[in-house]
Amino acid sequence: MMMSQLSQFKAGAEDSSSAGIMWCRGFLQQTVRSISTSGQAGVLFDVDGVLLRGGVLIPAARRAFRKLLDRNNNFLFPVVFVTNAGSCQRHHKAQQLSRLLEVQITPEQVVLSHSPLQMLKAFHDKCVLVSGQGPVTDIANTLGFQKVVSVEQLREHHPLLDMVDHNRRPKLPSSPLQTLPNIEAIILFGEPIRWETNLQLLIDVLLTNGSPGCAYNPQVPAQLPVLACNMDLMWMAEAPSPRFGHGMFLVCLESVYRKMTGRELQYQALLGKPSLLTYQYAEQLLRLQNYNRKLTTIYAIGDNLMTDIYGANLYNRYLGQKNAAMATTTKLVAQGTGSQMTMAVPEEELVSAPAQCRSILVCTGVYNPRSPLPSDCSVTESVFHGHKDLKLELELVEPNHVVDDVEAAVDLLLQQESLVTSDL
């Protein structure tokens, strides 16, 4: 639906506040105030470019959230914030959103790009090398990983590896350091601060099968597992144009690996939007807020065609396949995200899955409203900004709705839900 068609939805949007299940933040004190028991909508909000530009609140965001609260400051619908940020803990992001939006947000309402890693328990007892910025070691421990080595630790133990910046070359230790265990997997949390250091040491680990103190082995039998969070090529901060994201760092790493080995870098899992794992995890959190009852529709609001819209539309495709055999469904959707891993979904949850996921694109972030929506001419393999393992399908980057900002998105979904409720 184009922007000129959206004005009809804005009038009377707030009158729909009596529809749906009312829920109170804090799972132990939830209350329900609804006549209808047939279902409920849920809302997924992106953060950067939708609610914030860098650390600055977009003015429409606070107005939008006032419309999503009842007179007791309870949300009208289950709400989850799904962001590809990953350099902090969930409770820190919840605190930031609570302060800026002037609404109490709990950590259980936040999905960061790395949040689904806690479900990948097969890797929790392996020695993992973590790359990124912020408290990545603490984040990995919180997610369940028991043996964590940071790039900085690796650099200190192998001071001859990082040679680009002559002024930063580590000094040889006066006494031998404790030997690090062999690296068994790599977790890429987000873009690092010193790209050259991380690129060098990651390649060292990959080409030595986890023993970077050894010489390269060009005939490594199998590549170490790589788990990558956040595929955003770019993201919107305060600058006039988007900034490089972790996806850009992955492009560099993939290019160096290909140049060195002649092979493509393989990922065991790709997490964060548009990964299926991320949307499955977010839906679980929505369901918890709805007393595990069925959600009829999920509205996904974002500013990035290649992550927010692609992911929401891909998840909608998955929901459309929910009545097929679980193995077939999982295989089909995994092809869309390039990840070798998906979440094991019980068959009863497939039956009670939402009917649809509606994608809403806002014009306050990465998406430029002066540019045309994707077409055969505007999106080609040469300018596709999605990850290399994503399949370019035009229908996946076409939003269900385009609106000015998050307030218009909330007006739209409120109007849509009031129409659904009136038909019950």
CA distances to 38, 134, 184 from 149, in Å: 49, 14, 11
Q: Note whether 109 and 166 are within 8 A (CB).
A: no
The pairing of strands 234-235 and 243-244 is antiparallel
Average pLDDT across each block of 10 residues of the chain; the chain has 424 residues. List them in order.
33 33 32 42 96 93 95 94 92 95 96 94 97 95 97 91 80 68 96 96 96 87 93 88 93 96 93 92 93 90 94 94 50 44 49 82 90 54 65 88 97 87 51
Q: What's the pLDDT score for residue 332?
A: 39
Could you report the per-residue pLDDT of 299-339, keeping only the tens digit for each?
999 999 989 999 999 999 999 887 454 434 343 333 445 44
CA distances to 6, 7, 62, 412, 424 from 11, in Å: 10, 8, 19, 10, 22
Mapped onto helix, strand or coil, the DSSP state of residue 35 is: coil
For the residues of 144-182, what is the DSSP string, one character each?
T-SEEEEHHHHHHHSTTS--S-GGGPPPPPSSPPPPPPP
Q: Note whether 181 and 127 are within 8 A (CB).
A: yes
* Helix-strand-coil split of the chain, %, nearest 5: 40, 15, 50
Q: What's the pLDDT score for residue 136?
A: 96
Phi/psi-derived region of residue 20, left when phi > 0, alpha when psi is between -120 and 50, beta in every other case: left
Could you report the per-residue pLDDT of 52-86, keeping only the tens digit for each?
998 899 999 999 999 999 999 999 999 999 999 88
Q: Note whether 137 and 87 are within 8 A (CB).
A: no
What CA–CA distance (Å, rounded) separates 203 from 199?
Answer: 6
Q: What's the pLDDT score for residue 9?
A: 28
